[in-house]
Amino acid sequence: MRIAKAAGFAWTSDIIGASVFAWGAASALEAQLQGTAGIAAGAALMLLGGLLRLASQYGAQVIGFDAGRALARLRRGELFPRLLAIAGPSAPALGATATLGIDHVAAEQARAARFDPVRKSATLAPVLVVLVVALQSRVAALILFLTLIPFVIGMILAGGAARQAADRQMAAITALSALYVDRIRHLPIIRHFAAEDRIARQAGGAAQDVAERTIAVLRAAFLSSAVLEFFAALSVALVAVYCGFSLLGLLPFTPPEQLDYRAAFFVLVMAPEFYLPMRRLAAAYHEKQLGEAAEKALEEVPEPVPRPAASSQVALRDVVVAWPGHRIGPISFELGARGLVCVTGPTGSGKTSLLAAIAGQVAPSEGMLATLPAEAIAWAGQVPLLLPTTLDDNLLLGRPDAAATDVAEAARAVGLDALLARRADGLATAIDHHGAWLSGGERRRLGLARALIADRALLLADEPTADLDTASAERIIALLVAEAQKRAVIVATHDERLAAAADQVIAL
């Protein structure tokens, strides 16, 4: 990606401003030392250097943000459809969906914005510093370069251990957090058994334990930053001592160059810049860790299941839908072009998952399942989808070209006509994704009306009578019975009146 490279170059260009500043400072001090004019010119160069560094650092951070944003946009574009296209028990839960789609993408974004550009400049910028320094003093450049060798060895020795230690620390803290989340979620049952003190002691012990272990781990982790600090300080000290002795003419060897004061001071001010990019890299390491963990979590989002081969009718033979800890079935039934099938069972028994399997959205783990092609299925959900557009558009999601008379007819059939009459704009009334002014029952009716307007051969309805008063529920039951004369209808419900009206009842 070009923009990611640009951010790396922007960080590297910081060296230009640093060089201008160092040259200005060296010139001004030399002028003062020799009592010549040029102090003001040097000071002006210093300020120019400061301005250039401001521009580089500002630019690098803003371009870095844009690089992160470009990556996040790419991720969202492929992640969101995937998160929405997996149904049933293997799909991430609602809260987890939000965590994946927001927090994990943000962690990857932060890594691309802060860590990746700095990493690029950590290889380029030190080379540039050595080159700039070499223009004034080849020996000082050699000194900087030579400190790099023990530094690299030190980093290989301490850095590998530190990286492992940092990763282990993060794993330990993640585990501790998971323990706390679990215990806090289960506080009601902990209080019920009067186990507050015992669990609090256990949780507190775990926290202290992790703190102790983390400190042990940090000793190793900080060793690598100590190596970095040491060579950063050592390179400054060695350059200072070399330049000082060179100016005094006291070097124990004959230098290959004649160093003047300006060159010496320039080299001294540039020396800390040599290790600065690597220090920036170390500071952004946490972003790298979080970004990698997030990337892994995003890779684990399951792929949507392939659709079963299309058939002309619904037929299940010994179908089992299973996921860790749960198992529905075996279930067998057939439904022709017409008829009403009710799937019943208590909450959490897997009615919606079975419906999703019949819709071809969840793969059964055992048995044979035949169903209609996707275009022949309509679904009226428990919490129907609402897009932030008009009521009319929402009703037309299943068949955008439906006739206005069909829409009005369906709205009347599900009992939305009273609601429409109350609204000045009728079908043109705007709604938001949350359905702010719709009750749960009204949302459900809207979902059912949409499924009717879609006019498909198979109608699946999930708890169509929940949240409705007796009269409304009976109206919906009558409607479903009438629809079952025209098409195949499968309903998940725990409403006994609805089950009583069915041609077949599948109890889970």
Which residues in 118-157 contact another protein (CB under 8 A)? none
Strands 488-492 and 504-507: unpaired
Residue 367, sorted as left (phi over 0), alpha (psi -120 to 50) or beta, turns out to be left
Judged by CB under 8 A, the residue of 36, 258, 347, 405 near another protein is 347
Least distance in angstroms from the C-beta of 435 to another protein:
9
What does 252-287 look like in DSSP terms, one character per residue? Answer: SS--SS---HHHHHHHHHHHHHHHHHHHHHHHTHHH
Would you count residue 50 as binding another protein (CB under 8 A)?
A: yes
How far is Cα 500 from Cα 486, in angstroms, rounded to an integer?
Answer: 19
Judged by CB under 8 A, the residue of 15, 67, 87, 427 near another protein is 87
Instruction: Give the CA dihedral 302, 303, 304, 306, nearest 10 degrees.
Output: -130
Main-chain phi, psi angles of 241, to 5 degrees: -65, -45
Contact region with another protein (CB under 8 A), list: 136-144, 153-161, 382-390, 479-487: 382-390
Under 8 Å CB-to-CB from 452, ≥6 apart: which residues?
Answer: 378, 410, 413, 414, 459, 483
Structure tokens, 332: 């067998």
Number of residues that bind another protein (CB under 8 A): 149
* Binding map of another protein across residues 389-408, x = CB under 8 A, - = no contact: --------xx----------
CA 269 to chain CA centroid, Å, is 42
Would you count residue 497 as binding another protein (CB under 8 A)?
A: no
Least distance in angstroms from the C-beta of 421 to another protein:
26
Least distance in angstroms from the C-beta of 424 to another protein:
26
Judged by CB under 8 A, the residue of 6, 38, 61, 501 near another protein is 61
Cβ distance to another protein smaller for residue 131 or 187: 187
Least distance in angstroms from the C-beta of 247 to another protein:
4
CA 133 to chain CA centroid, Å, is 43
Under 8 Å CB-to-CB from 45, ≥6 apart: which residues?
Answer: 20, 21, 23, 24, 27, 28
- Contacts to another protein from residues 353-372, by CB under 8 A: 355-356, 359, 361
Cβ distance to another protein smaller for residue 200 or 403: 200
Helix, coil or strand: residue 5: helix
Least distance in angstroms from the C-beta of 236 to another protein:
6
- Contacts to another protein from residues 178-197, by CB under 8 A: 178-197
- Contacts to another protein from residues 195-254, by CB under 8 A: 195-200, 203-204, 207-208, 210-211, 214-215, 218-219, 222-223, 225-226, 229-230, 233-234, 236-237, 239-241, 243-245, 247-250
Judged by CB under 8 A, the residue of 36, 95, 256, 299 near another protein is 95
- Cα-trace Rg, the chain: 35
Least distance in angstroms from the C-beta of 332 to another protein:
19
Q: Which of 384, 317, 315, 322 is nearest to 350 (CA)?
A: 322
* Binding map of another protein across residues 416-455, x = CB under 8 A, - = no contact: -----------------xx------------x------x-
* Binding map of another protein across residues 287-306, x = CB under 8 A, - = no contact: -----------------x--
Cβ distance to another protein smaller for residue 174 or 312: 174
Judged by CB under 8 A, the residue of 3, 16, 39, 297 near another protein is 39
Q: Is the peptide bond before 256 cis (omega within 30 degrees of 0)?
A: no
Cβ distance to another protein smaller for residue 84 or 418: 84
How far is Cα 309 from Cα 307, in angstroms, rounded to an integer?
Answer: 6
The beta strands (E) that lie in 120-184 are given as none
| Cβ 448 vs Cβ 478: under 8 Å | no
Cβ distance to another protein smaller for residue 317 or 327: 327
